[in-house]
Amino acid sequence: MSATGRFAPSPSGDLHIGNLRTALLAWLFARSSGRGFLVRIEDLDRVKEGAAERQLDDLRELGLNWDGQPARQTDRRALYDAAIDGLVTQGRTFECFCTRREILEAPSAPHRPPGAYPGTCHDLTPAERESRRVERNPAIRLRSDVETWTVRDLLHGEVTAGVDDLVLRRGDGVPAYNLAVVVDDGEQGVDQVVRGDDLLTSAPRQAYLAELLGIETPLYAHVPLALNTEGQRLAKRDGAVTYRELTERGIDVFATISGSLGLTGSTPEQLLDTFDPAALPHAPWTFAPPA
Asked whether residue 48 is marked as a ligand-binding residue, the answer is no
- 5: closest CA among 272, 220, 165, 205? 220
Asked whether residue 9 is marked as a ligand-binding residue, the answer is yes
Asked whether residue 108 is marked as a ligand-binding residue, the answer is no
- 25: closest CA among 155, 150, 151? 155
Residues 17, 23: Cα–Cα separation, whole Å:
10
Task: Check 171, 236, 247, 256 and give the catalytic one.
Answer: 236
- Tell me, yes or no, if 48 is annotated catalytic: no
Asked whether residue 245 is marked as a ligand-binding residue, the answer is no
DSSP secondary structure of 40-67: EE--SS---TTHHHHHHHHHHHTT---S
Asked whether residue 275 is marked as a ligand-binding residue, the answer is no
Asked whether residue 83 is marked as a ligand-binding residue, the answer is no
Asked whether residue 132 is marked as a ligand-binding residue, the answer is no
The helix or strand, by DSSP H or E, that contains position 102, with its residue range, turns out to be helix 100-105
> Dihedral angle at the C-alpha atoms of 21, 26, 28, 31, nearest 10 degrees?
-150
Q: Measured over all CA atoms, what is the biggest interatomic distance in the chain, rounded to whole angstroms?
A: 65
Q: Do 193 and 206 touch, CB atoms closer than 8 A?
A: no
Asked whether residue 8 is marked as a ligand-binding residue, the answer is yes
* Residue 9: count of CB within 10 angstroms of its CB: 24
Asked whether residue 96 is marked as a ligand-binding residue, the answer is yes
Asked whether residue 10 is marked as a ligand-binding residue, the answer is yes
* Residue 123: count of CB within 10 angstroms of its CB: 9
Asked whether residue 117 is marked as a ligand-binding residue, the answer is yes
Residues 118, 107: Cα–Cα separation, whole Å:
7
Q: Do 217 and 205 touch, CB atoms closer than 8 A?
A: no
Asked whether residue 236 is marked as a ligand-binding residue, the answer is yes
Question: Which residues are identified as catalytic?
Answer: 236
Which residue positions form the known binding site for Zn(2+)? 96, 98, 117, 121
Which residue positions form the known binding site for L-glutamate? 6-10, 42, 177, 195
Which residue positions form the known binding site? 6-10, 42, 96, 98, 117, 121, 177, 195, 236
